[in-house]
Structure 1
Amino acid sequence: MLTERPARPTIAQLREVTQPPSVRTRAGAEHWVAHLYLRDLSPYLTRPLLRLGFSADAVTWLMILCAALSAVSTGWPTLAGAIGVVVLAQLQQLLDCCDGEVARWRQTSSPRGVYLDRVGHYTAECGIAVALGVRANGGPALDGVWISAGLALGLLVCLNKVENDLVHVARHYAGMTQMADVESVRVPQAGLLRTARRAARLVPFHRIFHSIEMSLLILLAAVVDLFVDGWATKVLLVAMLVSAVVTVVGHLAAVLGSSRLR
């Protein structure tokens, strides 16, 4: 590991400091697109951000902006809007890699940065879910069944994320140490729950509520909508609403049945 931080680091130096194994092997914090290609790309954006003097928090604010714009793009009921949300979701996830890399390089990691990072993810995932109702409705409105369905989906997506964050809150108030971000901690101890979790891993519908997955599904529905007059987006919204109910209930049971609170 480098003991000094050069003013103009190479890509190799950035990778050594900002992408240690503890980051690349996290079970819950690394999205599959980060493993697949974004961590390969992120140092090429992190380096100019460092040279331009960006702080880690400033990069996170850029991520939050992309998150908000992805929700706005979702609500634009056209193919261009669907393409926009895919691009913005990818950029949001890339900046999510970069803000941590800037923090690790500058040695400025802080609770404030973690908090802002959470704000960005909540903005993207809950915002896209709500905006999907606007998209299914054909545009913004003060009422309507599709608007209500989008609001309900946004609430359920938020609850699903809260169930994760409340684990850390509960452990803190109980005076416990920080939970290790490894897969073994997340496995339920009861046999029935373990079986249900294995089944969910075979058909991982619970993962569709990340901004990346939602954006890709929205684009797919938008393409189909060219031939079915908007009904694909409506079907997607209903399917996601049902999946969200199952996910929230299953997630709660999995948390209570695992060693996360023990």
Structure 2
Amino acid sequence: MRNTGEAQQGASHPTLEELRNRAQPPEVRNRKNAEHWTAQLYLRHFSIYFTMLLVRTRITANGVTGMMIIAGWCTAASLLIPGVWGAVLAVFFSQVQMYIDCCDGEVARWRGTSGAKGVFLDKVGHYTTEGLVAFVLGARAVGEWSNLQADPGGTYPYLLAGSMLASLVLLNKALNDMVHVSRAFNGLDKLADSQAATALNPGFTAKLKRAARFVPFHRIYHSVELSLLALVSSIVTAIIVPLGAAPLSGERWLVLILVPLCLLSVIGHFMSIMASRRLS
């Protein structure tokens, strides 16, 4: 049996296997909705090494979440840099955000400090980041702020589109939390993060959701996907403007296309919630 000093040493200096078993249990790796595809595909394979360093320090899990929030805000701020390099930087910070997002939960599970504050801070991080990224896509389509003064009629619609996109992205995210609030207010159990718990009842909405799998535009409103789309639009602009297209064509078409698609996503999300067992 370990004495107290040995136990404390083991808690702050775990082996990789010990840390992985507690911080990355199967129920975490197999979550349906809580894991972003980047975490499932590759980030969880590497996050454990940074977590290994973090648990050797005094930083709390909430402190790690604070680092995630800052990385997310840097994603949005990077998009204020014109051209391809601003978008490249945004893609980089979006990956850093998701990487650290894996680590904060791992630190909390290892130390046994998971709690409501951590969940709250995580929500703050993702809500603010994704709202800001969506809004900045509109500002990015305006270009230099002098453009807004020189040609308000030609540039204001893009700023408005960014504002609308940000509102729709936040509403789409809030719908999931509204489900949990509604269940809590009515004394229902916590909704399991599983396919069965969110399955749709047979009918028209279920058919629409199956069809949406072939064109999954409803999955592009996360900071990772939005930053990648910003990069693609910047590359398009860099290619077509020398051929005679209007400045910022790629960025402007992107934000104008995303607004109606996001509206469709919100409507579809609402319909799927109402047609499922989530509220019963």
When normalised by structure 1's length, the TM-score is 0.96
Query: What's the counterpart of residue 240 of structure 1?
Result: 258
One-letter amino acid matched to 1:176: L
Q: Which one of the candidate residues 127, 132, 141 is aligned to 2:132?
A: 127
| Cα drift, residue 256 of structure 1 | 0.7
Contact 2:158 2:256 in 1 (8 A): no
Alpha-carbon distance in 1 for matches of 2:75, 2:196: 34
Q: Which one of the candidate residues 235, 254, 257 is aligned to 1:223?
A: 235
Query: What's the counterpart of residue 24 of structure 1?
Result: 29
One-letter amino acid matched to 2:21: E
Query: What's the counterpart of residue 69 of structure 1?
Result: 74
Alpha-carbon distance in 2 for matches of 1:7, 1:61: 21
Query: What's the counterpart of residue 145 of structure 1?
Result: 157
Contact 1:79 1:222 in 2 (8 A): yes
Alpha-carbon distance in 2 for matches of 1:67, 1:30: 17
Contact 1:75 1:139 in 2 (8 A): no
One-letter amino acid matched to 1:192: F
| Cα drift, residue 236 of structure 1 | 1.0
Q: Which one of the candidate residues 136, 142, 147 is aligned to 2:141?
A: 136
Query: What's the counterpart of residue 194 of structure 1?
Result: 206
What runs of 5+ residues in structure 1 fail to find an aligned partner? none
| Cα drift, residue 203 of structure 1 | 1.2
Contact 1:133 1:147 in 2 (8 A): yes
Alpha-carbon distance in 2 for matches of 1:7, 1:69: 30
When normalised by structure 2's length, the TM-score is 0.90
Q: State, as a whole percentage, how many aligned pairs show the same letter.
A: 42
One-letter amino acid matched to 1:237: V
Alpha-carbon distance in 1 for matches of 2:226, 2:60: 29
Alpha-carbon distance in 2 for matches of 1:68, 1:92: 9
Alpha-carbon distance in 1 for matches of 2:274, 2:55: 42
| Cα drift, residue 8 of structure 1 | 0.9
Quick check: 1:178 aligned with 2:183? no
Per-residue Cα deviation, 1:172-223 (whole angstroms, up to 9, x for no partner): 0001110000012222214111110111112110000011111111111111
Aligned residue pair count: 259
Q: Which one of the candidate residues 45, 50, 53 is aligned to 2:58?
A: 53
- What secondary structure, in the 3-state scheme, does the structure 2 residue paired with 1:6 have? helix
Task: Report matched runs for 1:85-164 at 5 Å.
Answer: 85-140=90-145, 144-164=156-176
User: Which of these two proteins has the greater Rg computed from alpha carbons?
Assistant: 2
Alpha-carbon distance in 1 for matches of 2:134, 2:82: 14
